Amino acid sequence: MAAEGAFYTGQYRNLLAELGYSEEAIGKRLNEAWEALFEGGEETRIYYPVGEDLGYMLDTGNLDVRSEGMSYGMMMAVQYNNKDVFDRLWKWTYTYMYMTEGLHAGYFAWSCNTDGSRRSNGPAPDGEEYFAMALLFASHRWGDEEAPFNYGKQARDLLSTCIHKGENGSGYPMWNPQNKLIKFIPDCEYSDPSYHLPHFYELFALWAYPEDRAFWKEAAEASRDYLPRSCHPVTGLAPEYAHYDGRPNNDKGYGHFFSDSYRVAANIGLDGEWFGRDERLGGIVNRIQAFFADKEPEDYRRYRIDGEPFEEKSLHPVGLLATNAMASLAATGPHAETAVRLFWNTPVRTGARRYYDNCLYLFSLLALSGSYRIWKPSE
């Protein structure tokens, strides 16, 4: 990869401004999107403060609180420089989701009720990796305080658990120790392509405990090698679950392009923005954008990864068009501008299914405006 990414240059590409949208309009959209998700009415809000110092992100389609959403909310809050929201989310997470005993001690329960009672004692690795990255950014942006707000230590401890769990007894690591690929859940041996965040792992390789840094550097390269194996060579589409060799894993019906899969394009876009374009990954998003170029959001479907559509409609069309737009940060094909303009002309989603769509929407808006930033120490 070329070293033109923002990590090296400190310059974040504002693709919205490049396409002619004014700084005033972009700033207004950023403010409006935050207000809709975090402060708005019941048609758009997904964040709910609790008492003096807690808060949670609600999965409005399933009426639960997920480690995915809590970690997403923390990343949004640190990017928007909102320490109050960040600390409320983190304290809720640490109070109710963090497991101190049992097979998954050291991880976070992936699903809770809004009163904090657990629906599951199993973890989901996409939450852990976002928790760790958001905590490191918080440590660098705001400084560390007393536990549990000693953000940096919390992040490094979590990353250590993710790769060393099970070495001295019960439990399973979240990354396969041989191939360095993230698992769908710790006690399985297959992956989810949308979990692969090589741009996060590059930073973990700098800021994790010294003994863990080589692992994360290898994990970054392993993920960049894995995505071309798991994405279809013609359409670019990824399955929700995939074997380590990249083949779709459809044992439980998740071997198709559906909700989880949308994040692959966004992740490639942010990796390109932060660390420079990788031609293999750029090719993937070029193909994804080409595949969707002749499709209208209201007709997005579940697809086999070769592009064959099912009758079933997409549950999250706004999330899909948002991630396809975010992919433009790594794309070189002819459909990048169209994808961004479609996103700009689409409002945040309302109604019962809004949670996942609007998380992806806000991340895309941050990235396309040059506002999804790497927070380094002492910045």
Residues with catalytic roles: 68, 260
State the Cα–Cα distance between residues 140 and 96, nearest whole angstrom: 25
CB 173 within 8 A of CB 166: yes
User: Is residue 142 packed enough to be buried (19+ CB in 10 Å), middle (13-18) or exposed (0-12)?
Assistant: middle
Under 8 Å between Cβ of 319 and 257 = no
Backbone torsion region of residue 160, taken as left when φ is above 0, otherwise alpha when ψ lies between -120 and 50, otherwise beta: alpha
Whose tokens are 């279809």? That residue is 232
E strand residue ranges, 214-371: 301-303, 309-313
Burial class of residue 32, CB neighbours in 10 A (0-12, 13-18, 19+): middle
Coil, strand or helix: which one is 61?
coil
Q: Three-state DSSP class for 376?
A: coil
Residues with Cβ within 8 Å of residue 18, at least 6 apart in sequence: none
Instruction: Name the residue type at position 177.
Output: P
Q: What is the largest CA-CA distance in the chain?
A: 57
Distance in angstroms (rounded) separating the CA atoms of residues 239 and 242: 6
Roughly how many angstroms between the first and final C-alpha of the chain, as a whole number?
Answer: 25
Distance of CA 221 to the CA centre of its chain: 18
List, in sequence order, every residue forming a beta bridge with 62; answer none if it has no partner. Answer: none
Question: What whole-number distance in Å separates Cα of residue 34 and Cα of residue 45?
Answer: 9
Indicate the SS3 state at residue 43. coil
Closest C-alpha to 111, from 123, 100, 99, 101: 123
